[in-house]
Amino acid sequence: MKKDQYQFREKSQFLNLLILRDELQHLDEVLSQPIKETKDLLTKFRATRSVFLTLNNVKDALDRLQLEAPKDFVNKTRELKKKLVFSNHFRNRGIGHLDGTLLSRAVPCSGALKFSMRQLKEMNCFDS
Protein backbone atom coordinates (compact mmCIF):
# COMPACT_ATOMS: atom_id res chain seq x y z
CA MET A 1 0.00 0.00 0.00
CA LYS A 2 1.31 3.42 -0.98
CA LYS A 3 1.81 5.95 1.79
CA ASP A 4 -0.61 8.87 1.67
CA GLN A 5 1.62 11.49 0.09
CA TYR A 6 -0.87 14.27 0.77
CA GLN A 7 -1.43 13.41 4.44
CA PHE A 8 -5.22 13.86 4.24
CA ARG A 9 -5.81 12.02 7.52
CA GLU A 10 -3.25 14.07 9.44
CA LYS A 11 -4.43 17.34 7.92
CA SER A 12 -8.08 16.57 8.66
CA GLN A 13 -7.19 15.71 12.27
CA PHE A 14 -5.28 18.97 12.57
CA LEU A 15 -8.21 20.93 11.09
CA ASN A 16 -10.56 19.23 13.57
CA LEU A 17 -8.35 20.27 16.49
CA LEU A 18 -8.14 23.86 15.17
CA ILE A 19 -11.93 24.07 14.98
CA LEU A 20 -12.28 22.67 18.50
CA ARG A 21 -9.71 25.14 19.84
CA ASP A 22 -11.56 28.03 18.18
CA GLU A 23 -14.85 26.80 19.67
CA LEU A 24 -13.34 26.68 23.17
CA GLN A 25 -11.86 30.17 22.75
CA HIS A 26 -15.23 31.52 21.63
CA LEU A 27 -17.02 29.87 24.56
CA ASP A 28 -14.41 31.31 26.93
CA GLU A 29 -15.21 34.79 25.59
CA VAL A 30 -18.93 34.20 26.10
CA LEU A 31 -18.42 32.94 29.65
CA SER A 32 -16.13 35.88 30.47
CA GLN A 33 -18.85 38.46 29.75
CA PRO A 34 -20.64 40.00 32.75
CA ILE A 35 -24.20 39.05 33.58
CA LYS A 36 -26.34 42.15 33.18
CA GLU A 37 -29.76 40.59 32.70
CA THR A 38 -31.51 37.25 32.82
CA LYS A 39 -30.82 36.35 29.21
CA ASP A 40 -27.06 36.68 29.87
CA LEU A 41 -27.31 34.02 32.56
CA LEU A 42 -29.15 31.69 30.19
CA THR A 43 -26.50 32.33 27.53
CA LYS A 44 -23.83 31.33 30.04
CA PHE A 45 -25.70 28.13 30.92
CA ARG A 46 -25.94 27.28 27.23
CA ALA A 47 -22.24 28.04 26.73
CA THR A 48 -21.29 25.90 29.74
CA ARG A 49 -23.14 22.95 28.25
CA SER A 50 -21.35 23.57 24.95
CA VAL A 51 -17.97 23.65 26.68
CA PHE A 52 -18.46 20.12 27.99
CA LEU A 53 -19.64 18.88 24.61
CA THR A 54 -16.60 20.46 22.94
CA LEU A 55 -14.24 19.05 25.58
CA ASN A 56 -15.68 15.61 24.93
CA ASN A 57 -15.09 16.16 21.21
CA VAL A 58 -11.46 17.06 21.99
CA LYS A 59 -11.12 13.80 23.92
CA ASP A 60 -12.62 11.85 21.01
CA ALA A 61 -10.30 13.59 18.55
CA LEU A 62 -7.28 12.75 20.70
CA ASP A 63 -8.43 9.13 20.89
CA ARG A 64 -8.41 8.96 17.08
CA LEU A 65 -5.15 10.87 16.70
CA GLN A 66 -2.51 8.63 15.16
CA LEU A 67 0.66 10.55 14.53
CA GLU A 68 4.27 9.67 14.82
CA ALA A 69 5.32 12.15 17.47
CA PRO A 70 8.00 12.73 20.08
CA LYS A 71 7.54 10.91 23.37
CA ASP A 72 6.89 14.17 25.21
CA PHE A 73 3.94 14.94 22.91
CA VAL A 74 2.53 11.43 23.37
CA ASN A 75 2.82 11.72 27.16
CA LYS A 76 1.11 15.12 27.22
CA THR A 77 -1.66 13.81 24.98
CA ARG A 78 -2.25 10.82 27.27
CA GLU A 79 -2.32 13.10 30.31
CA LEU A 80 -4.83 15.41 28.65
CA LYS A 81 -7.07 12.48 27.63
CA LYS A 82 -7.13 11.26 31.24
CA LYS A 83 -8.17 14.73 32.41
CA LEU A 84 -10.95 14.85 29.82
CA VAL A 85 -12.61 11.57 30.83
CA PHE A 86 -15.03 13.51 33.06
CA SER A 87 -16.34 15.40 30.03
CA ASN A 88 -17.94 12.23 28.67
CA HIS A 89 -19.82 11.68 31.93
CA PHE A 90 -20.96 15.29 32.09
CA ARG A 91 -21.98 15.26 28.43
CA ASN A 92 -24.07 12.15 28.97
CA ARG A 93 -25.60 13.49 32.17
CA GLY A 94 -26.07 17.17 31.45
CA ILE A 95 -26.08 17.69 27.70
CA GLY A 96 -28.28 14.91 26.40
CA HIS A 97 -31.01 15.71 28.88
CA LEU A 98 -31.46 18.00 31.85
CA ASP A 99 -32.46 15.86 34.78
CA GLY A 100 -33.77 17.03 38.13
CA THR A 101 -30.66 16.01 40.05
CA LEU A 102 -28.37 18.05 37.84
CA LEU A 103 -30.65 21.08 37.94
CA SER A 104 -31.10 20.91 41.71
CA ARG A 105 -27.32 20.85 42.12
CA ALA A 106 -26.93 23.88 39.85
CA VAL A 107 -29.42 26.06 41.77
CA PRO A 108 -27.28 26.67 44.90
CA CYS A 109 -24.28 27.52 42.71
CA SER A 110 -25.88 30.60 41.25
CA GLY A 111 -27.19 33.49 43.27
CA ALA A 112 -28.43 34.98 39.99
CA LEU A 113 -31.31 32.49 39.80
CA LYS A 114 -33.68 34.85 41.57
CA PHE A 115 -36.22 35.23 38.80
CA SER A 116 -39.49 36.95 39.25
CA MET A 117 -42.52 35.80 37.30
CA ARG A 118 -42.47 39.16 35.52
CA GLN A 119 -38.91 38.55 34.22
CA LEU A 120 -39.82 35.09 32.98
CA LYS A 121 -42.90 36.46 31.20
CA GLU A 122 -40.79 39.17 29.56
CA MET A 123 -38.56 36.42 28.18
CA ASN A 124 -41.66 34.74 26.69
CA CYS A 125 -41.15 31.64 28.81
CA PHE A 126 -44.91 31.14 29.09
CA ASP A 127 -47.50 30.80 26.38
CA SER A 128 -49.97 33.20 27.94
23-54 pLDDT, tens digit each? 999 999 999 999 888 888 889 988 988 998 89
Classify residue 2: in a domain, yes or no: no
pLDDT tier at 7 (50, 70, 90 boundaries)?
A: confident
Classify residue 19: in a domain, yes or no: yes
- Which of 55, 52, 36 minimizes the C-alpha distance to 102? 52
| Count of domains observed in the chain | 1
Classify residue 39: in a domain, yes or no: yes
pLDDT in tens, 81-127: 888 888 877 777 666 656 666 666 666 655 555 554 456 556 665 55
The structure's pTM equals 0.66
Classify residue 80: in a domain, yes or no: yes
Classify residue 127: in a domain, yes or no: no
Look up the domain containing 43 and give its range: 9-122
**Maximum alpha-carbon separation in the chain:** 68
Amino acid, res. 97:
H
pLDDT in tens, 8-23: 888 888 899 999 999 9
